[in-house]
Structure 1
Amino acid sequence: MTSILENPLPIWIAGAVCATFAGVVFAARRNLASLVALAVIVLLTLAGAAIERAVVTPREEIEAATTGVLDALEANDLPAVLALIDPAAKTVRADAEAAMPQVKIDKANIEGTLTIELAPAAAEPTAAVAKFRGILIGNTRRGGATIGYRDQVEINWVRRGDQWLIDGYTVYENGKPIEAAGRLRRGVK
């Protein structure tokens, strides 16, 4: 059910197929019942698409939060980044507070597909991992050296109330985890 609420394409395809059949029946019979059936199918398709648009699933919330943190990074907005980090995640907060003032980020984005794995839960999920190939391009503020990153990133999200917050992250280089913020603190490319 949630997959239908995360992607409107099945709704539109089913509506188009049913409307086509109803249209063929209406063209052949030219009666009120077939016209009403066509109208009902169109209305149900529009209602299904409206419901899909209105209902925001946890996966869609995490997707929005992930793009939100990347937008905040690209805007070099440390307070906005910190607002998306769980207050209990002291290491993540310390990494952001230490690394962000040292770099001017020109581009922070997702390259390819964003995969979101929700932690199994009885009702609403309270934890998730967003996995994607990240791209980050910028310059160091001291010296202006160009920095770049293009590899796998995993962001751990935790639900606090009605908001998803960053609980941890792992940055990879050639398939191996690295300490990216530590490298910036030491001045290593």
Structure 2
Amino acid sequence: MAGFGRSRRHAAKLYRGFGLLTALGVILVLAGLVGLVYTGVATLTSMLLFGWLLLIGGIVGLLHAVQARGTNFFWLGVIVAALNIAAGVVIMRRPEAAAAALAMFAALLFLTGGIFRLVGALVVRGPQLGWTLLLGAFYLLLGILVLESWPSSSQYVIGCFFSLTLLFDGLGLIAAGFGGRRVVGMVAEDRVKPVQP
């Protein structure tokens, strides 16, 4: 009987945990939708967040390097930490220029990814030829669209990608939360059912 009570408490804890996961997903979806409406603000926010992450990561890396002095990796750790700190400071001081550079990098990635997918699909001619060609054409078109209006496109491209990431991550968390609560509910109901003689 004590085991049954423990099991119910554990199920209730899991149920609450999946509920919190769903709530976090809803918050991320709302943040993603707001970011899609205000892409300029989302771009600036994501750049500042990226700069802070680099700065904090650089400081933590520098502390680790100092703790590891006397080893072969000391100077490598110091150099990597210094580069992270410098990049973080530059991004926080010039977020617009950083967004323009990242938008250019993203456009070039899309262009090369699209070209490689198209060429690869035509050379290999696998079972997913149509989908691979469509995806390659989409990547190519996206890269051309970003490059065509660059650098003004950098004001919305990074914010749009950041907001879409929040939106899809939020939807994934909501699905996981609802699915988890459902599974926990089914398992709890199964345990409560009386055993048939």
Q: Is the TM-score greater than 0.5?
A: no
For the superposition of Structure 1 and Structure 2, which TM-score range results when normalised by the shorter chain?
Answer: under 0.3
**TM-score, with structure 2 as normaliser:** 0.25
Q: Which has the higher contact order (CA 8 A, sep 6+)?
A: 2
Structure number with the higher strand fraction is: 1
**TM-score, with structure 1 as normaliser:** 0.25
- The structure number with the bigger radius of gyration is 2
